[in-house]
C-alpha cells in the first residue's frame, strides 16, 4: 500500500476512528505503526489526523513530557508533530545504540546516544505523569527507558579499557561520556543482572588513591569543572566492592540490605544551583596503610598505563560486615544560621570560596531560574567506631559538561571530627577532611577524604582515599535513629 496515498477501501475504513485509535494504541514498534497508518485512509487518519493527537498521547504514555503553552490549534498540531519526530528518533537511537561500542565519545554514534540519554535525564519527572516503582518510590518513565538501555547494552557501562583520554579532544568528549555514565550508574546498585564492572577495578583502585595534586576533583575555570573521570572511577571502585563476588568484601552485607538502604536514583526533577539534601545517609570509605599508598602511587608512575600485578587490600571495607558502613544524619541551615565556621576547617577545605560560575550564551538566553542560595552550611553526626560529628558546606556548580549539559551538580566539603574526653571541644589531632561531588538529584555523593594535619601544605605523603555516601529512603529514618540510640 502506498504510504502517501492510503486506500479508501478496506476493513478498517468501516470502523470508527476511535476504534482504530484504540487498535493503534496496542502497536509498539514505529515500523508497525507506519504499516498500520498506510493500510487505508481510516488508519492513516487515526495516526496522523486530529492534529496528530495520537503522537501526543503516545509520547505522554512513554516519556516525561513538559511542554510550553499553545494558544491555537495550529500551534497544537505543530507541537504534536514535533513530539512525533522526537519519539521516533528516540526509539531508533535507543534500539540501535545498544550495539555502539563506547570509548571516548568522539564518534557520531556515541554522540547521538549520549544526547538521547542526556535528554531523558534532564527531562525526567517533568510533566503531569506520575509513576512509582514496586517499592512505592517516585519513578519516571524516562528512567525506565534508561534502565532498559543499560541492560540491553553491555558496551555503555561495561568498558574495560586501561587507558585514559590523552588528547584535548578526547578529554573534552569523554567528559560527556563519564557524566552520562555517572547518572546512569545510579541504577546499577539494584540491577542483579548487571554483574560486570563499569571500568577495570585495578585501574579504578589506582586512580582513587592518587593525591589531590595529581588528581584534583575540581579544576578548570574558577575550579568549577568536575573531574568526571575520577568520580566515575570512585563509583566503580565502591560498586565493585559492594556487588562483585571477585572482591569478596562487602558483597554479602550489601545483598542483605533492603532496597531502601541501597543507593537509588533521583526521585524529582533535577534542580539548578544549590539545594539541601536528604536527612539520612549511609556510606563508607576506604584506605590503605601509608607504605601501601606510597607503593601504589610509585608503581603507577613507573608502570605503563598503570597496570601492575601487585594486589592491594583496601581497608575498612574488607570485613564484609555492616561494620564498614556508617549512617549519617544531616541538618541544613538557612543563611546566617549554623554557627561559626572554624578557621582551621576553612584552611583545609576552602569551602567558602564563591566560584564565579561562567554562563554560556544559551544560558544567558534562557529564562531566569532561581539558583537558590550561593552556599548552604550543614552539620551531621554518625557512628564510625565512635560517635563523630561533621560540619561543612554545599556549593553550587554550573551545569556541565559543556558539550552535554546536565544541571544539579554540587560541591560538598566537610570536616569530620570527634569531641575530646570532656565532650566539650574538638579533638584537633583527629580531623578528617572530605571533598566531593553531589550527583544531580541529590541522592549520592562521591569524593576524597584526607587526614587534615596542622599544615595543609605539608601533606607528603598524603594520607587520603575515596568515600561514598547515598541517601536512604524516608522509611529508614526510624531504623537509623534507633540504631544510633542503642550504640
List pLDDT tens digits, range 337-349.
999 999 999 999 9
Q: Give the pLDDT confidence of 53-88 residue by residue, as tens digits.
A: 999 999 999 999 887 788 899 889 999 999 999 999
CA 389 to CA 284: how far, in whole Å? Answer: 15
Domain ranges of the chain: 11-97, 100-351+373-486
pLDDT of amino acid 14: 75
Q: How far apart are CA 151 and CA 374, in angstroms?
A: 38
Q: 302: which residues sit within 8 A by CB, 6+ positions away? A: none
Of 332, 325, 320, give the one whose Cα is nearest residue 261. Answer: 325
pLDDT of res. 359: 54
Using DSSP, state whether 47 is helix, strand or coil.
helix
Least confident of 83-87, 165-169, 405-409, 460-464: 165-169
Rounded average pLDDT over 217-239: 94
Q: Tell me the C-alpha distance between 269 and 40, whole Å.
A: 42
| pLDDT, position 457 | 62
Q: Is the predicted pLDDT of residue 221 greater than 70, yes or no?
A: yes
State yes or no: pLDDT of 109 exceeds 70: yes
Pick 299 or 304 by higher pLDDT.
299
By CB atoms closer than 10 A (0-12, 13-18, 19+), residue 435 is: buried
Output the pLDDT for position 279: 96
305 — pLDDT class (breaks 50, 70, 90): low
Complete DSSP assignment for 291-354: HHHHHHHHHHHHSGGG--------BSSSS-SGGG-EEEEEEE--TT-S----HHHHHHH-TT--
pLDDT at 431 over 70: yes
pLDDT at site 458? 62
Mean pLDDT of the chain: 86
Do 118 and 142 contact (CB within 8 A), yes or no? no
Q: What was the pLDDT predicted at 476?
A: 46
Q: What is the pLDDT averaged over residues 108-112?
A: 93
For residue 15, give the nearest of 48, 39, 50, 51 by alpha carbon: 39
Q: What percent of the chain has pLDDT over 70?
A: 85
Element of type H or E holding 380: strand 376-384
Buried/exposed 15-40: b ≥16 CB within 10 Å, e otherwise: beeeebbeebeebeeeeebeebbbbb
Higher-pLDDT residue of 340, 300 = 340
Q: Supply the pLDDT for residue 162.
A: 59
| Structure confidence at residue 362 (pLDDT) | 47
Instruction: Please tell me which residue, 291 or 246, carries the higher pLDDT value.
Output: 291
Supply the pLDDT for residue 236: 94
Give the C-alpha separation, 275 to 294, whole Å: 38
Is the per-residue pLDDT at 480 higher than 50?
no
Average pLDDT over residues 223-248: 90
Amino acid at each position: 500500500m502506498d504510504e502517501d496515498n492510503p486506500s479508501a477501501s478496506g476493513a478498517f475504513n468501516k470502523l470508527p476512528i476511535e476504534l482504530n485509535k484504540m487498535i493503534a494504541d496496542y502497536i509498539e514498534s514505529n515500523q508497525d505503526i507506519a504499516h498500520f497508518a498506510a493500510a487505508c485512509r481510516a488508519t492513516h487518519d487515526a495516526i496522523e489526523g486530529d492534529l496528530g493527537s495520537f503522537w501526543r498521547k503516545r509520547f505522554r504514555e512513554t516519556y516525561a513530557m513538559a511542554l510550553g503553552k499553545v494558544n491555537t490549534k495550529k500551534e497544537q498540531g505543530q507541537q504534536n508533530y514535533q513530539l512525533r519526530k522526537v519519539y521516533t528518533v528516540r526509539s531508533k537511537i535507543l534500539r540501535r545504540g545498544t550495539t555502539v561500542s563506547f570509548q571516548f565519545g568522539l564518534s557520531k554514534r556515541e554522540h547521538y546516544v549520549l544526547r538521547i540519554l542526556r535528554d531523558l535525564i534532564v527531562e525526567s519527572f517533568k510533566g503531569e505523569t506520575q509513576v512509582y516503582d514496586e517499592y512505592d518510590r517516585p519513578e519516571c518513565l524516562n528512567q525506565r527507558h534508561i534502565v532498559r538501555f543499560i541492560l540491553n547494552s553491555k558496551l555503555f557501562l561495561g568498558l574495560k579499557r586501561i587507558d585514559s583520554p590523552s588528547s584535548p579532544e578526547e578529554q573534552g568528549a569523554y567528559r560527556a561520556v563519564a557524566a552520562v555514565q555517572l547518572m546512569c550508574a545510579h541504577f546499577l546498585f539494584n540491577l542483579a543482572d548487571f554483574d560486570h564492572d563499569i571500568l577495570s577495578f585495578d585501574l579504578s583502585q589506582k586512580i582513587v588513591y592518587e593525591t589531590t595534586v595529581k588528581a584534583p576533583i575540581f579544576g578548570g575555570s574558577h575550579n568549577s569543572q568536575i573531574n568526571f573521570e575520577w568520580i566515575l572511577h570512585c563509583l566503580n571502585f565502591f560498586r565493585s566492592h559492594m556487588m562483585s563476588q571477585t572482591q569478596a568484601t562487602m558483597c554479602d552485607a550489601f545483598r542483605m540490605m533492603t532496597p531502601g538502604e541501597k543507593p537509588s536514583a533521583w526521585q524529582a526533577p533535577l534542580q539548578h544551583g544549590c539545594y539541601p539534601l536528604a536527612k539520612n545517609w549511609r556510606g563508607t570509605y576506604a584506605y590503605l596503610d601509608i607504605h601501601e599508598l606510597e607503593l601504589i602511587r610509585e608503581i603507577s608512575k613507573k608502570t605503563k598505563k598503570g597496570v601492575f600485578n601487585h594486589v592491594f587490600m583496601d581497608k575498612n571495607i574488607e570485613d564484609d560486615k555492616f561494620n564498614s558502613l556508617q549512617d549519617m544524619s544531616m541538618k541544613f541551615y538557612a543563611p546566617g544560621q549554623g554557627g561559626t565556621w572554624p578557621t582551621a576547617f576553612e584552611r583545609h577545605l576552602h569551602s567558602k570560596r564563591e566560584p564565579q560560575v561562567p554562563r554560556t550564551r544559551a544560558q544567558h538566553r534562557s529564562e531566569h531560574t532561581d539558583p537558590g542560595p550561593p552556599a548552604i552550611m550543614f552539620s551531621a553526626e554518625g557512628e564510625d567506631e565512635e560517635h563523630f560529628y561533621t560540619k561543612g558546606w554545599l556549593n553550587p556548580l554550573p551545569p556541565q559538561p559543556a558539550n552535554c549539559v546536565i544541571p544539579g551538580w554540587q560541591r560538598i566539603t566537610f570536616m569530620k571530627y570527634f569531641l575530646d574526653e570532656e565532650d566539650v571541644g574538638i579533638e584537633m589531632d583527629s580531623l578528617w577532611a572530605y571533598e566531593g561531588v553531589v550527583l544531580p538529584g541529590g541522592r549520592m555523593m562521591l569524593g576524597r577524604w584526607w587526614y587534615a594535619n596542622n599544615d595543609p601544605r605539608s601533606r607528603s605523603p598524603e594520607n587520603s582515599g575515596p568515600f561514598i555516601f547515598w541517601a536512604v529512603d524516608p522509611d529508614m529514618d526510624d531504623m537509623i535513629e534507633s540504631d544510633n540510640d542503642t550504640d
